[in-house]
Amino acid sequence: MRRDLSILAGLIFLSALALPAPAAEEGAEEPAAEAPAEPRPAEIAKSGSFTDDLEKLKAAVGLTEDQEKKIRELQEKLTKDLEKYDKDNEKKLATAREKIAAAKSDLDRKRNEEAVKAVEAGRERISEAYEKKYFAVLTSTQRGKWNGQILCAAVDKEFQSLNLTEEENKKIATLCENSGKLQPGPLSEPVDPKLLTSLYKQVYMSVLTPEQRQTYAKSKMPTAEPKNEGKKNKKKNK
């Protein structure tokens, strides 16, 4: 009897799965789709130039129409400057690449590869100069917001084992934004290690409790080699 009941229950369950979903009542409103989350600067920074997607930049730092117009004008100028640079160096690049293909020695090949790299580096410098011009269009608060969240992402990772409080995270966010305002251009990942080291020191000295400092310091200490292992290594060296 119990077996029959369990078979019957199974059949009922399977038939329920096969039934079509109930039709929505006429006039009933469909649930609203969730609005996409606003992009964080740290996420945009992974994709390249911080002006690659102006819509995302607007959402991240709140560009005004005037700022957007200035950045678009700068982008047009950059395009023209790069086109001119490419044209001026077209023959130089072509010659260097031909010589690389026909090189009979490593020295000749290396010399011409360096010539190609020099031209490419020059092009990169032009783009970097415009990045700073774009960044200068932003207000101090916007610059801090952009760079601050990128710095916060790195700081969060560095101190994640300390279970920071909400108040401590707010202090860190302020430190990151203040540091971000001082940078001459937009930060991107990976962040300069020297800048991060300076920021880590600030967090260590002005945010962490004595207990947290002790825990953090211990986590950075090299693991001591077991005494027996040390003796074995000495014997091997002998």
Q: Which tens digits make up the pLDDT trace of 158-169?
A: 999 998 999 999
Tell me, yes or no, whether 127 and 150 share the same domain: no
Tell me, yes or no, whether 188 and 151 share the same domain: yes
Domain membership of residue 83 (yes or no) is yes
Tell me, yes or no, whether 129 and 152 share the same domain: no
Give alpha helix (H) positions in the chain.
2-18, 41-44, 54-61, 65-102, 106-137, 140-158, 166-181, 193-206, 210-220, 227-237
pLDDT band at 11 (very low <50, low <70, confident <90, very high): very low
pLDDT, residue 52, reads 76
Tell me, yes or no, whether 94 and 150 share the same domain: no
Number of domains composing the chain: 2
Q: What is the pLDDT of residues 48-65, one digit of tens each?
A: 567 777 888 888 888 999
Give the mean model confidence (pLDDT) for residues 128-152. Answer: 92
Dist. CA 50–CA 57, nearest whole Å: 7
- Is residue 151 within 8 A of residue 190, CB to CB? The reply is no
pLDDT, residue 223, reads 61
Domain membership of residue 25 (yes or no) is no
Q: What is the pLDDT of residues 33-50, one digit of tens each?
A: 444 445 555 555 554 567
Dist. CA 39–CA 55, nearest whole Å: 10
Domain residues for the domain of 208 are: 141-219
Dist. CA 175–CA 197, nearest whole Å: 13
| pLDDT at 123 > cutoff 50 | yes
Give the mean model confidence (pLDDT) for residues 185-194. Answer: 89
Dist. CA 36–CA 33, nearest whole Å: 9
| pLDDT at 115 > cutoff 60 | yes
| pLDDT at 120 > cutoff 50 | yes
pLDDT, residue 59, reads 83
Tell me, yes or no, whether 167 and 208 share the same domain: yes
Which CA distances in Å does 207 have to 152, 157, 179, 180? 14, 16, 15, 18
Domain membership of residue 56 (yes or no) is no
pLDDT, residue 188, reads 82
